[in-house]
């Protein structure tokens, strides 16, 4: 089972001024489509050090397979989630963010304004998602089909990416 952490980055939600709707959207989709177990959830302000520290603890000490952030990926001066994520990851996984932006562009030209990144720290995959529940749903739906295999590779449970499902099996 995939262990997941959901980190909502929002000053207003952190202060209790706005209900976090994106975190629950992620939880619903991850449990329904991946059968994953959400181990940790938190709401933090748009503060670089807090985001970075949380990601490091969840990856290094807790050892989650997947961390999904929501919020802080836009153009606002307080949007620092991508920078905090880049400071934590050891290797980028640009295809995930590229796929989300490409699919998003089919819906709205504003998708090109996303600064979301994805990458790997140790054996943890970290992916930035937008802050709105609608955008979370659209972006997560795009990458869900690849997540299980990516995590299996990180766990060294799978090695072949190019093989289609069922290839190599005998009848």
Map out the domains of the chain with their CATH numbers. 3-154 (3.40.980.10)
Cα–Cα distance measured from residue 138 to residue 122, given in angstroms and rounded to the nearest whole number? 27
Q: What is the pLDDT along the chain (171 residues), one digit of tens a residue?
A: 999 999 999 999 999 999 999 999 999 999 999 999 999 999 999 999 999 999 999 999 999 999 999 999 999 999 999 999 999 999 999 999 999 999 999 999 999 999 999 999 999 999 999 999 999 999 999 999 999 999 999 999 976 666 555 444 333
- Strand spans (E) along the chain: 3-9, 37-44, 66-70, 91-92, 118-121, 124-129
- Predicted TM-score (pTM) of the model is 0.92
Cα–Cα distance measured from residue 63 to residue 142, given in angstroms and rounded to the nearest whole number? 25
Q: Are 37 and 99 in contact (CB under 8 A)?
A: no
Cα–Cα distance measured from residue 24 to residue 134, given in angstroms and rounded to the nearest whole number? 12
């Amino acid at each position: 089972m995939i262990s997941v952490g959901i980190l909502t980055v929002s000053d207003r939600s952190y202060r209790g001024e706005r209900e976090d709707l994106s975190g629950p959207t992620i939880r619903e989709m991850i449990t329904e489509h991946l059968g994953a177990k959400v181990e940790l959830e938190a709401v933090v302000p748009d503060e670089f050090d807090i985001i970075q520290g949380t990601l490091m603890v969840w990856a290094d000490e807790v050892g989650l397979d997947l961390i999904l952030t929501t919020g802080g990926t836009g153009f606002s001066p307080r949007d620092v989630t991508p920078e905090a994520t880049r400071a934590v990851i050891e290797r980028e996984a640009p295809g995930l963010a590229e796929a989300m932006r490409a699919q998003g562009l089919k819906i709205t030209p504003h998708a090109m304004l996303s600064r979301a990144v994805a990458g790997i720290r140790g054996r943890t995959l970290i992916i930035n998602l937008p802050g709105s529940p609608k955008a979370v749903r659209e972006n997560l739906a795009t990458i869900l089909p690849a997540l299980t295999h990516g995590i299996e590779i990180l766990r060294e449970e799978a090695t072949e990416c190019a093989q289609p499902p069922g290839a190599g099996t005998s009848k």
